[in-house]
Chains A and B, each alone.
Chain A
Amino acid sequence: DAMVIQNPRYQVTQFGKPVTLSCSQTLNHNVMYWYQQKSSQAPKLLFHYYDKDFNNEADTPDNFQSRRPNTSFCFLDIRSPGLGDAAMYLCATSRGSGGAKNIQYFGAGTRLSVL
């Protein structure tokens, strides 16, 4: 059974039209992450929540926002998608910090297309 669930699997939006991607987890993990992955590249961390504590990566554009209303759910909001934002967006969870707690469990991703 899927433990990190992302919806939708495929999302098409128009240039400049806000879009929200969702992620839920059944693992009760403390940490939830959002990554952006483009073709043939490693996942790039956008931000993460450790419980309710939000941590933004320094190079994440302001266009990307996130919400974590509770332990199970986390959302990625792209306020004004540009063509360069077309990518796979991956949600991941981990128990916390230290050793095996760092192991991340990924969802299947949402493929975002921007027209």
Chain B
Amino acid sequence: GESVGLHLPTLSVQEGDNSIINCAYSNSASDYFIWYKQESGKGPQFIIDIRSNMDKRQGQRVTVLLNKTVKHLSLQIAATQPGDSAVYFCAERASGGSYIPTFGRGTSLIVHP
């Protein structure tokens, strides 16, 4: 059978609260970042992306912040809903390297009604 995986970092919030999911990266050459949402039993789904020449980008109820100085990325979800419960992955792509983004570890978001 499947091997036991590592425990994912977990964030538990109440419905209606704002959620902040963090992602640290190590490659200073990373120039493009993507956030994916993966619901149970489904494939990852694109949420939002940001290039390294920006420090903030907003979508519908989501905001991504990029701090290149400390190599940190965050995804903010406003007014979190039960349907936001999922695992969230950040992915980074390094300039000059493979064009394929590399997935980070993932964070499990649990929204309590």
Tell me the A residues contacting B by CB distance below 8 Å.
Answer: 4, 33, 38-43, 45, 48, 83-84, 86-87, 90, 92, 96-109, 113-114
Residues of B within 8 A of A (CB): 1-8, 32, 34, 36, 41-46, 49, 51, 89, 93, 99-101, 103-106
B100 touches A33 (CB 8 A): yes
Main secondary structure of the interface of B (DSSP, over half): loop
B7: chain A residues within 8 A (beta carbon): 40
For A48, list chain B residues within 8 Å (CB).
100
Question: A40 vs B4: C-alpha distance in the bound complex, in angstroms?
Answer: 8
Residue of B nearest to A40 (CB): B5
Q: Which A residue's beta carbon lies closest to that of B103?
A: A42
The 5 A-B residue pairs with the shortest CB-CB distance, nearest first, are A106-B43, A97-B99, A40-B5, A42-B103, A39-B5
Residues of A within 8 A of B34 (CB): 102-104
Measured CB to CB, the nearest residue on chain A to B99 is: A97
In the assembled complex, the Cα of A105 lies from the Cα of B6 at a distance in Å of 25
Q: Which residue of B lies closest to A113 (CB)?
A: B1
Contact sample, A vs B, 22 pairs, CB 8 Å cutoff: A4-B43, A38-B2, A39-B2, A40-B8, A40-B106, A42-B103, A42-B105, A42-B106, A43-B44, A43-B103, A48-B100, A86-B1, A92-B44, A98-B99, A100-B49, A102-B93, A102-B100, A102-B101, A103-B46, A104-B44, A104-B101, A109-B43
Please give, as numbers and ranges, the residues of chain B lying within 8 Å of A99 by CB-CB distance. Answer: 32, 51
Please give, as numbers and ranges, the residues of chain B lying within 8 Å of A43 by CB-CB distance.
44, 89, 103
- A86-B1, A99-B51, A103-B34 known; A42 vs B99 contact (CB < 8 Å): no
The smallest C-beta distance from B63 to any residue of chain A, in angstroms, reads 18
Query: Which residues of A lie under 8 Å from residue B104 when comparing CB positions?
Result: 42
B82 CB to nearest A CB, Å: 21
